[in-house]
Amino acid sequence: MENLIYNELKRRGFNINVGIVEKIISNGDKRTRKSFEVDFVCQKPNVKYYIQSAYELPTKEKIEQETRSLYNIDDSFKKNSNNL
């Protein structure tokens, strides 16, 4: 599925990268850095999309895992989660 998405985005003229979102989580005295992957960061001049793809989302935990990175991105560009 990711190959299909990648090829379609390329066909539409986007520059495509994989993104990493880092979040620092505080737990009392301890701070932990977590990294979350974004499947596609697609850009054209003045346009940026974040796309997370998954073949299926059978459980709440899987939905949380797949959407967590999008929720932690701190800008106003469009974010999209796709599944079959």
In the structure encoding, which two tokens stand for residue 79, read together?
């974010």
Q: What is the mean pLDDT of the chain?
A: 87
pLDDT band with cut points at 50, 70 and 90 for residue 41: very high
Q: Which domain holds residue 8?
A: 2-83
Number of domains in the chain: 1
pLDDT at residue number 78 = 67
pLDDT at 84 over 60: no
pLDDT at residue number 75 = 80
19: burial class by Cβ within 10 Å (0-12, 13-18, 19+)?
Answer: middle
